[in-house]
Amino acid sequence: MVLASVKAAEGVGWPDALPLLPHPAELIIGLIAFAILYWIYATKVVPKMEAMYEERSAAIEGGMQQAEEAQAEARAALEKYNAQLAGARTEANEIRETAREQGASIVAEMRGQAQAEAARITESAKRQVDAERQQAVVSLRQEVGTLSTDLASKIVGESLKDEVRQNGIVDRFLAELEAGDVTPEKVTPAGQDA
C-alpha cells in the first residue's frame, strides 16, 4: 500500500520520498551476499570454530584431569613422605633408646669393674697390712723376748741366753697374756709401802 501510493506520486522509478526503503536490486544483491556469507560461515568457519571449541574444552578438561591426577600424586607422595618421616623418627627413637641402654650397661659394667678393682686393691692392702702386722708381731716378740730375758738375767743374776729356753718362756708368757690369764700387778719401788 505504501508502495502503491509512492508509485502513484512519482510515476516511474524508485521514489525519492522514501529514502529509508532500500532499492529492490540492492535488496536482492544483499540477500544473495547474505546467503553466500551464511553458507561460508556455516560450512567453513563454524565447523572450525566448533572444532577449536571442542579442542579447547578437551584441553581444559584434560588439564583439569591432569591437575586432579597431579594433586592425587602429590597427596600420595605427601602421605609416603609422612610415613617415611614417621618411620625415620621411630627408628631414631629406637637408636637413641638403644644407645641410652648401651651407655647405661657400659656405665654399669665399668662401675662393676671399678668396684671389683677396688675390692681387689682393698683385699690386697688388707693382706699386706695383715702380713706386715704379723711380721711386726714376730719382730716385737723377738725384741720383747730378748729384752725381757736380758732384764731377767740382770735381775736374777744368771745368764738366760739359752734360746730354746728363752723362746719357751716368752711364748708361754705371751700366750697367757693373749688369753687374759695374766693380771697386771702394781709394783712399788723398794722402801715404799702400798
The pLDDT, as a whole number, for residue 142 is 78
Stated length of the chain: 194
Supply the pLDDT for residue 121.
94
pLDDT at residue 96, rounded to an integer: 94
What the block records as the C-alpha cell of 64 is 583439569
Rounded CA separation 160/102 (Å) = 73
Give the position of cell 506520486: 9
**What does each C-alpha distance from 177 to 144, 162, 173, 182, 184 come to in angstroms?**
13, 22, 6, 5, 10
pTM above 0.75, yes or no: no
Q: What pLDDT score does 78 carry?
A: 92
Here the cell at position 113 is 669393674
pLDDT of residue 3: 52
Cα-Cα-Cα-Cα torsion 29, 35, 37, 38, nearest 10 degrees, comes to: 160
The segments of the chain whose pLDDT lies below 50 read 6, 9
Predicted local confidence at residue 91, as pLDDT: 93
pLDDT in tens, 29-81: 999 999 999 999 999 999 999 999 999 998 888 888 888 889 999 999 999 99
- What pLDDT is stored for residue 15 in this prediction? 65
pLDDT of residue 25: 86
Say if CB 182 and CB 173 are below 8 A apart: yes
Q: Quote the pLDDT of residue 116.
A: 93
User: For residues 194 and 182, what is the distance between their CA atoms, to the nearest angstrom?
Assistant: 21
Q: Which three cell numbers stand for residue 190?
A: 723398794
